[in-house]
Amino acid sequence: MTELLLGAQGWSPLAWAQLFGHFALLSLLAIGGAITTVPDMHRFVVGERGWLSDSAFSGSIALAQAAPGPNVLFVAVIGFNVAGLAGAGATLAGSLLPSTLVAVAAGRYGTQRAHSRALRAFTEGLAPVTIGLLLATGWVLTEPSHDRWGTWPLVAATIALMLRTRISPVWPIIAGALAGMLGWV
């Protein structure tokens, strides 16, 4: 698949730099984690560049989320599916370097000003932004199955279950996987 996307010439350093640069920029906007930037990753990788299809993009995230390990590994899977190991390195480094540097600086700043009213207001104000970004991510990830009859009841049931119970998120994931295997979503 990668050979089809890259062509016979292979990738140029400029293309790797674009992949790194876009994921680096997104890492600075990842309020609530890297998963909140999935809609723009999709726009860039699928819509703008055409490096992956909708289903390959969603499959990349599903595969990475099902595997054990840090949640951010989905960016490496996307990069690998776009441009092999170099793509995985570009997306992972782009996602981790800027946000790590900002987190270290913000941690030091926050520790020194832990009782600041403005800092507390800022961090509490990020909660609705994070929720909105997560909803946008959910919308993009369900896009390949928006026209299937079982998608929306499953999404509604999952949201209700997560809001009203303390049940493990593994169970809705299993239910979604089974519904997908049966062709309902």
**pTM value?**
0.63
**Domain membership flag for residue 156:** no
**More confident of the two residues 150 and 41:** 41
pLDDT tens across 104-120, in order? 998 899 888 888 898 88
Enclosing domain of residue 40:
2-119
**Domain membership flag for residue 159:** no
Give pLDDT, residue 6. 47
**Domain membership flag for residue 165:** no
**More confident of the two residues 139 and 96:** 96
**Domain membership flag for residue 45:** yes
**Domain membership flag for residue 23:** yes
For residues 127-165, b (16+ Cβ closer than 10 Å) or e, as one string? eeeeeebeebbbebbbbbbeeeeebeebbeebeeeeeee
Mean pLDDT over 17-26 rounds to 94
Count of structural domains, the chain? 1
**Domain membership flag for residue 21:** yes
**Domain membership flag for residue 154:** no
